[in-house]
A = this chain, B = another copy of it.
Amino acid sequence: MIKRKTYIEVKKRSAALIDKAGLSFTAEEKNKIDVADFGLSDIYKEGVQILTFFDTDRIAGKLLILLSDQTEPEHWHPAIGNNPGKQEIIRALWGELRFYIPGVNNMRFGFIPEGQESNFTVRHEIIMKPGDQLVLEPGTKHWFQAGPEGALLYSFSTTVCDIKDGFTDPKIVRTTVIEED
């Protein structure tokens, strides 16, 4: 649940970050930014803003926008029937991006959102600078977090089916509900 006023504010701040980074997105695209609070109702703490610039039946391209210290919850893209699951390429574009995948716990720069210790299980930290990139195979648990200035990153992938994503936090609901003031 997110209040209409907060939803508008988050969208506005996300569009401003795109402009600050000097990225070529049209006004129409910026207007379609999606705000995902994952049903946790604490958008500035856990959430992500998504600008989907293409999404065909075969491939998708999204710009993900994180505000200052905002965290995208831990999740993974499972296989679905005959589909091996979403393969995703992450490419850092602007700001400091803290990315977490399975492996040795070397967490140093990021933090687990307060009270959420059990919902962030992978803690191998990769600090991504603009132009850094990684490939996530289906099923790989991952979460990420912006530095103090926020962060912009691309997500390129095979067919998207967000509704089938797995999340570590059992409280998560993928659909954002907007509460009118």
Q: Which of the listed residues A24, A157, A158 has the most CB atoms from chain B within 10 Å of its own CB?
A: A24
**Contact partners of A93 in chain B: CB under 8 A:** 24
In the assembled complex, the CB of A62 is this many whole angstroms from the nearest CB of chain B, namely 11
Of the listed stretches A50-58, A69-77, A105-113, chain B binds A50-58
Cβ–Cβ contact B131 & A29, under 8 A: yes
**Contact partners of A157 in chain B: CB under 8 A:** 59
Question: For residues 37 through 67 of chain A, which have their beta carbon under 8 Å from a beta carbon of chain B?
Answer: 53-54, 56, 58-59, 61
Q: A102 at the A/B interface (Cβ < 8 Å)?
A: no
State the CA gap A54–B88 with chains docked (Å). 11
> A124-154 vs B: 1/0 string, CB under 8 Å?
0000001111010000000000000000000
* A56 interface neighbour in B54, B87, B130, Cβ under 8 Å: B87
State the CA gap A61–B133 with chains docked (Å). 12
Cβ–Cβ contact A156 & B26, under 8 A: no
Chain A residues with a Cβ under 8 A of chain B: 22, 24-26, 29, 53-54, 56, 58-59, 61, 87, 89, 91-94, 130-133, 135, 156-158
* Known contacts A24-B94, A25-B131, A59-B156, then 9 further A-B pairs from the complex at CB < 8 Å, ordered by chain A residue: A22-B22, A24-B131, A26-B132, A54-B89, A56-B135, A59-B157, A61-B89, A61-B91, A61-B156
Listed by A's residue number, 16 A-B pairs whose Cβ atoms lie within 8 Å are: A24-B93, A24-B94, A24-B131, A26-B131, A53-B91, A54-B89, A54-B91, A54-B156, A56-B87, A56-B135, A58-B87, A59-B59, A59-B87, A61-B89, A61-B91, A61-B156
